[in-house]
């Protein structure tokens, strides 16, 4: 529903309810709004506006009391049309800068960024290293490690080097290894890893002559999808879950257990954050907007950061009741700082 579908009074009431509920976690009544937000109308008029907002799906009425609670739709309207992001304070900028500069390797920088975001927002900071799918392969090398293992060295245009062990059925003659190395470089160099996976069979067809070469090449054809599916430079990095423990949304043991399970398994976060690496701007998904049922009661706010041609993601995860103005500003600011530092 577009913001134009709400009257000016409804917009002001909805904005006040969201702000009050985010701050207190208590259902909001008309008298509270009249006293705290100076809406210039009587509690009865506010109650009428609240009733209309409930009919339109922006508020829920969880108990028999007069208080209302924002729905996912309310938060979406608030984020898209009502809120004004708060500027990052000098204190938070300094804290982020000091915390991030203490790291050097990608993993350490991302870990510190996730932890700092968590502390500053009181949500769960999360990050994932850059995706390498769109990185161009400059060259590859095969090195004999033992009679049954080869080391495949992938040198990528971004300056990243990845090594992968390849199992072979037995000792492979050095000339066959040299020949296959030439073939692989000739057919695959200057392609992205995604292109290689999608076209590997076609590109390597009819490219060898001897039985030893053919046997080695068959291994690449059979396992190429795994070999060239190079994982992100780092897996999902998660800050301190304990920061959410005091929030009322996680007062029940079941909700807290679900959150811990989500952060320990990490496959859901890996998939979701991996998809967001291909976006160009800050992304907010609220409650039921999330594709995964495990995120159905949570909000995920992320922003991409860039290291040359590579893109990773950083953000926070928390209940739908979060201080969006502050969170959005801090996530965007942190993503810029992480990108600058890693470059």
Q: For residue range 167-192, what is the model confidence (pLDDT) as tens digits?
A: 888 888 999 999 999 999 999 999 99
Mean pLDDT for the stretch of residues 212-224: 87
Is pLDDT of 28 > 70? yes
Q: Say how many residues make up the chain.
A: 343
- Domain ranges across the chain: 3-82, 90-132+233-342, 137-227
CA distance 238 to 241: 8
Are the beta carbons of 73 and 1 closer than 8 angstroms? yes
CA distance 75 to 285: 10
Please tell me the CATH superfamily of domain 90-132+233-342, with its number. Answer: GAF domain (3.30.450.40)
Quick one: pLDDT at residue 126? 96
**In which band, very low, low, confident or very high, does the pLDDT at 232 lie, cut at 50, 70 and 90?**
low
Structure tokens at 295: 């995120």
Mean pLDDT for the stretch of residues 123-137: 88
Structure tokens at 130: 């850059």
Quick one: pLDDT at residue 103? 64
Are the beta carbons of 295 and 55 closer than 8 angstroms? no
Nearest to 331 by CA among 276, 263, 259, 258: 276
State which of 40-49, 128-137, 230-239 shows the largest mean pLDDT.
40-49
Quick one: pLDDT at residue 274? 83
What is the DSSP-derived secondary structure letter of residue 159? S
Is pLDDT of 95 > 60? yes
* pLDDT tens track for 249-274: 998 788 889 999 999 888 889 889 88
* pLDDT tens track for 40-81: 899 999 999 999 999 999 999 887 666 899 999 999 999 999
Sign, Cα dihedral of 121, 122, 123, 127: positive
Domain covering 3-82 in this structure, CATH number: 1.10.10.10
Is pLDDT of 159 > 80? no
Domain covering 137-227 in this structure, CATH number: 3.30.390.60
Quick one: pLDDT at residue 104? 64
CA distance 149 to 170: 8
**In which band, very low, low, confident or very high, does the pLDDT at 329 lie, cut at 50, 70 and 90?**
very high
155 phi/psi in degrees, rounded to 5: -105, 120
**In which band, very low, low, confident or very high, does the pLDDT at 132 lie, cut at 50, 70 and 90?**
confident
pTM of full prediction above 0.85: no
Per DSSP, the three-state class of 200 is helix
CA distance 90 to 206: 63
């Amino acid at each position: 529903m577009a913001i134009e579908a709400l009257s000016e009074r409804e917009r002001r009431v909805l904005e006040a309810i969201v702000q009050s509920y985010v701050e207190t976690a208590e259902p909001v009544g008309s008298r509270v709004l009249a006293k705290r937000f100076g809406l210039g109308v009587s509690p009865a008029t506010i109650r009428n506006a609240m009733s209309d907002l409930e009919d339109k799906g922006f508020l829920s009425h969880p108990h028999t009391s007069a208080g209302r609670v924002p729905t996912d739709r309310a938060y979406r309207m608030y984020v898209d049309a009502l809120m004004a992001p708060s500027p990052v304070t000098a204190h938070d900028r300094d804290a982020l800068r000091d915390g991030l500069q203490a790291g050097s390797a990608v993993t350490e920088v991302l870990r510190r960024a996730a932890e700092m975001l968590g502390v500053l927002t009181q949500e769960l900071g999360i990050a994932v290293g850059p995706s390498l799918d769109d990185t161009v392969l400059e060259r590859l090398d095969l090195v004999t490690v033992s009679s049954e293992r080869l080391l495949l060295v992938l040198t990528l245009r971004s300056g990243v080097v990845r090594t992968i062990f390849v199992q072979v059925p037995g000792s492979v003659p050095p000339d066959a290894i040299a020949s296959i190395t030439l073939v692989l470089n000739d057919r695959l160099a200057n392609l992205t890893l995604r292109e290689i996976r999608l076209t590997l069979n076609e590109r390597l067809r009819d490219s060898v002559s001897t039985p030893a070469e053919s046997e080695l090449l068959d291994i690449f054809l059979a396992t190429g999808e795994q070999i060239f599916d190079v994982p992100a430079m780092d897996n999902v990095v998660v800050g301190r879950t304990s920061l959410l423990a005091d929030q009322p949304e996680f007062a029940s043991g079941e909700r807290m257990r679900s959150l811990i399970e989500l952060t320990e398994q990490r496959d859901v976060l890996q998939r979701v954050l991996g998809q967001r690496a291909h976006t160009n701007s800050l992304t907010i998904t609220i409650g039921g907007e999330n594709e995964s049922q495990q995120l159905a009661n949570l909000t995920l706010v992320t922003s991409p950061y860039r290291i040359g041609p590579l893109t990773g993601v950083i953000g926070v995860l928390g209940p739908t009741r979060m201080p969006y103005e502050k969170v959005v500003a801090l996530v965007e600011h942190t993503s810029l700082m992480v990108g600058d530092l890693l470059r």
